[in-house]
Every structure is written in C-alpha cells, then in structure tokens.
Amino acid sequence: MNGKWVSHDVRDAVVDYVNHWKQRAELPAKRILAWIGLYESTFYKWCRSYGKTYDHNGAIPRDHWLEDWERDAIVRFHFKHPLEGYRRLTYMMLDADIVAVSPATVYRVLSKADLLGRKTSKTKTKGMGFNQPAAPHRHWHVDVSHLNICGTFYYMTSVIDGYSRAVVHWEIREQMKELDIETILQRAKEMHPGVKPQIITDNGPQFISNDFKQFIRISGMTHVRTSPYYPQSNGKIERYHRTIKSECIRPKTPLSLGDAQRTVSDFVRTYNHERLHSAIGYVTPADMLAGRAASIHAARDQKLADARTRRGNARRAAREGQSATYTGDARPEDKALLRSNLSAAPGA
C-alpha cells in the first residue's frame, strides 16, 4: 500500500480501522501499522486529510507565469530576428516594450518551440589575467584586415575602444603602411580631443617600426604589442573584424571600393548605435561610451518587475471574479475543475 495511490474512501477506511483496533486492543498505532505494512508518515498524513477528497493535483499556474500572448510574441520576434541569440533577443524586446521577460524565460520558450540550435564551447583560461579598462578611451585596439572586393584585395584598419567596444574610426585603403596607420590614429584622436589611450596591436610590420614608436611618443599615447602567434590576445578587434566580414562584407558583396565604404559605414553606424553587444551587458556601444548603461539596466529591471506585478494582478482579479460562482455546498473537485479551466482560459 505504501507508495501507491489509493482513493479517499480506502484512505479513510484504513484510518478508521487503525483507530478502532488501537482503542479496542490497547495497542500503539505503530505496531498495527507495522502489521498492515503502512508507513507512519503516510498514516498521519491520511489522518490530517481525513474526510477530504483529493483536490486539484496538477500544476497550478503561478501569478508571474507567462501569458499565451507573451509566448507568441517571443516566437514571432525570434522569426523576425533569426540570427540573434536568445539573450540579445531578450533585451531587444525589453527595449522595444514588446515583452518583459528574463533571458531564462526566452530560452525556455524557444527551446520548447524547438527553435534553438545546439552550441558546444570549451572553457578557456589563457589570457584571463588581462585587466579590462575601467573607463572609455583607456584602451584602443587596432588591427589590419584584408578585404576581397570583386577579386581585388584592400586593407581595412579599425580602431575599437576596449571599454565600450565602440568603433572609434575605420578606413579602407589600397595599401596600409606605417604612415597610413599613423594617419588613421591621428584622425581618431581628432574625433576625441584630449584622450591619450594605450594602443594595443599585434606584431605587424607597421607597428614595430621606429617611426611608429616616435609617433606614439609624440602624440602622448602608449603602445603595447600582443603575444606573437596568439591573435586571441587582441580578441576584441579580431572578433569585430570577423563580425563585419560575416554580417556585412560577404552578405552585401560590394562591387567597388566606394560601394564597400558605404556598406561598412552603414554597418558601423548600426553596430555603434543599434546593435546590442553581449560583452557589455546587451547595450549598444554608443550607450556604453556615453555612460548610459546603468540607467538602461535599471529601466529593464523595472520593466521586468512591472510585468510580474501586472500578471499577478490580472490572475488575482480573474480568480476573485470567478470566486463569486462558488456556492456554500460546492464540492472540492468542482472548485478544482473551475481553477483548472480558469488557468487554461485565454488571457489568464
């Protein structure tokens, strides 16, 4: 009998039987329960529920659970932005006031709809000793990348702020010598007067020349070169160049240098002012650079709290409206059925 489901009639009969023989034979209930093979905990639980029928035993929705229209909105938004991860989707929906949910909730909804792909990753510890900048324009990451435009190779140099991940400046040229790098850095400094960042580069020939060292010293900046044959040590700019090639250059397929410059310019504008960056808390680099990240995070937290409160108030109001239909002699199973129907009703 232990561990098996029994009806409330059998349960009450067992309680009556044990109580009867406990008084009749003056034996402790423990001994009688051992004879019939029933746990004491089960018996006393049946005593507490004596005379009661089994109530609703299913999963009762909590007040903060999602409503059906919210699940549909999450799925629709995923189809509008199929290339975005679930975390970026979460904060995009928060900022656009579509649905106020947490990343874990979006993950569960998309996973249940079989809309998530599997990703495998390994934990890497190399390079974890690098101290991240605490303010904008402390670190500028610089690198040169090759672009294939209609069979002709060009050079693109980008300058990334290490704190905000904002693209400070970029240029595409037919050649990229040491003088070209100096010109690009000087134009970047003119856009942000008074800053003296630390320039982080690899060991390319443009960055190890004596003329470049003199330029860094005269301009008031400092220069650090990464470990040889280890591009991950300058991973911020490497990742950006990988992103701009996979999301801009290759899909758009520019046909000329001017076309490539216009395409990259549009992408950089979107990257800095619209695209949410995962490494800085899913805000745009422009917001991070301007110091608006804390207020954006606070506004998102408030939206999540308001959404939970709204769902709770709606469900409580619905329950209070349905409670008037209960009569004094209503059976518990009828109440359980009414609660089940209420939780399954649209908009509940």
Tokens of 230: 């280890």
- Please check whether residue 46 is in contact with residue 15, taking contact to mean a CB–CB distance below 8 angstroms: yes
- Please check whether residue 198 is in contact with residue 224, taking contact to mean a CB–CB distance below 8 angstroms: yes
- Please check whether residue 104 is in contact with residue 310, taking contact to mean a CB–CB distance below 8 angstroms: no
- Please check whether residue 202 is in contact with residue 225, taking contact to mean a CB–CB distance below 8 angstroms: yes
Amino acid at 79: F
Domain range 139-284, its CATH number among 1.10.8.60, 3.30.365.10, 1.20.120.530, 3.30.420.10: 3.30.420.10
Q: Cα Rg for the chain, rounded, in angstroms?
A: 33
Q: In sequence order, what are the residues at sequence separation of 6 or more whose Cβ sits closer than 8 angstroms to the Cβ of residue 151?
A: none
Q: Where are the domains of the chain?
A: 8-48, 61-116+291-348, 139-284
Tokens of 279: 């490494």
Tell me the pLDDT of the chain (348 aa) as tens digits: 555 566 777 888 888 888 888 888 888 888 888 888 888 888 888 888 887 766 655 566 666 788 899 999 999 999 999 989 999 999 999 999 999 999 999 999 999 999 987 665 566 655 566 788 999 999 999 999 999 998 999 999 999 999 999 999 999 999 999 999 999 999 999 999 999 999 999 999 999 999 999 999 999 999 999 988 887 888 999 999 999 999 999 999 999 999 999 999 999 999 999 999 999 999 999 999 999 999 999 999 999 999 999 998 888 888 887 654 444 454 454 445 445 554 554 444
- Please check whether residue 207 is in contact with residue 230, taking contact to mean a CB–CB distance below 8 angstroms: no
How far apart CA 327 and CA 242 sit, in angstroms, is 67
Tokens of 327: 């009569």
pTM: 0.69
Q: In sequence order, what are the residues at sequence separation of 6 or more whose Cβ sits closer than 8 angstroms to the Cβ of residue 248?
A: 263, 264, 267
How far apart CA 15 and CA 44 sit, in angstroms, is 9
- Please check whether residue 292 is in contact with residue 283, taking contact to mean a CB–CB distance below 8 angstroms: yes
